[in-house]
Amino acid sequence: MRVVVVGATGNLGTALLTRLQAEPEVTELAGVARRAPRTASPPYGGVAWFSIDVGDDVAVAQLAHAFEGADAVVHLGWALQPSHDRDGMWRTNVTGTSHVLAAAVRAGVPHVLAASSVGAYSRGPKRRRVDETYRTKGVRRSSYSRQKAANERAFDDFEREHPEVTLTRMRPGLVFQPAAASEIVGLFLGRWVPTRWMQRHRLPFLPLAPRFVSQVVHADDVADAFWRAVDRQAGGAFNLAAEPVVTPEHVAEAFGTRLLPVPYRAMRALVSVTWLLRLQPTEPGWLDIAAKIPVMSTDRARRVLGWAPRHSSDATLREFARAVAFRDSHDGSHPLSG
């Protein structure tokens, strides 16, 4: 089996390469990234690399060449920064996705799998769970959410126009792994924010809005779901999340500190001002996602894929919090976008 992973050097891409390399059925593995890794250390070794900018005008032809003979293509490529460059992110995230889909058709790929997100869902309930049929129109003031929703429409069109291709869309909650802590903190707080002091001192408090109720999943568990879908040729949408549902109290506990409840509107106003002044890179729309997206049911993934996360959300958060403190000692080789 030949599998091609687009965005293979990112947070989720590295986890998926590791998962696929453990499967004897995967006899050929290829990775697509804007910049191929400069190391052959795991999980990059033994992978045929293609350096392709998925948003480029010539990307379809380049991608179709990389996809030739593939039994499955997994599209994980995504750009989170620079958040002020909306056109640039659309080019990579939405135009790039359309290029991947077009290239898969040109190359005759029978199975395409793509990373969507809980962020694609419209505003929804926190006290009951929604399944994969819930509306995916996104959260209006989040560019990330709007782009994920735009891709969901592209997936709908693709399914109608190409019924001969199995399309799988995964909708994970927030994806974490310790190895990506340096890049995640850099993307959302800035690369020069010091965290090493957290090795010896704990945060005095963590300011969060009570409305921030979300779901977390370990990158390794998402990678396992992708492999199960490849192995079973399972199409359709799948929600992916670990238990328990994450509240602000869970996050504070993971960082070994106390929660300081902050009104949502006040927190959003502060993030908006500091983002507009370019004092920090986090777009305020991320707060809208945390406050407004629904809580997902993962019953379909468990039933169809036989999937169950090995990492609880609490354990994933604790591992990540510890990695944040020690992030200066990591080599930073796990960027979030492909």
Residue 329 has pLDDT above 60, yes or no: no
Query: What is the chain's percent helix, strand, coil content, to nearest 5?
Result: 45, 15, 40
Residue 333 has pLDDT above 50, yes or no: no
Residue 212 has pLDDT above 70, yes or no: yes
pLDDT of residue 330: 35
Give residue 89's identity as a one-letter amino acid code. Answer: M
Residue 297 has pLDDT above 50, yes or no: yes
Mean pLDDT along residues 89-112: 98
Residue 238 has pLDDT above 90, yes or no: yes
Q: What pTM does this model have?
A: 0.92
* Alpha carbon distance 303, 305 (integer Å): 6
Quick one: CATH architecture of 2-175+216-241+295-311?
3-Layer(aba) Sandwich (3.40)
Residue 337 has pLDDT above 60, yes or no: no
Could you read off the pLDDT of 120-131 as tens digits, one per residue? 999 999 999 999
Extended strands (E) in the chain: 2-6, 28-33, 48-51, 72-75, 111-115, 129-130, 166-172, 174-176, 206-208, 216-218, 236-240, 259-261, 295-296
Share above pLDDT 90 across residues of the chain, in percent, rounded to a whole number? 82
Would you say 264 and 291 are in contact if contact means Cβ atoms under 8 Å apart?
A: yes
pLDDT of residue 286: 95
Residue 180 has pLDDT above 90, yes or no: no
Averaged pLDDT score across all residues of the chain: 91
Q: How confident is the model at residue 338 (pLDDT cuts 50, 70, 90)?
A: very low
Q: Is 218 in a helix, a strand, or coil?
A: strand
Could you read off the pLDDT of 127-145 as tens digits, one per residue? 999 999 999 999 999 999 9
Would you say 54 and 63 are in contact if contact means Cβ atoms under 8 Å apart?
A: yes
pLDDT of residue 203: 81
Could you read off the pLDDT of 33-73 as tens digits, one per residue? 999 998 899 999 999 999 999 999 999 999 999 999 999 99
Residue 193 has pLDDT above 90, yes or no: no
Would you say 157 and 165 are in contact if contact means Cβ atoms under 8 Å apart?
A: no
Closest alpha carbon to 170 in 74, 78, 33: 74
Share above pLDDT 70 across residues of the chain, in percent, rounded to a whole number? 91
pLDDT of residue 322: 87
Q: How confident is the model at residue 187 (pLDDT cuts 50, 70, 90)?
A: low
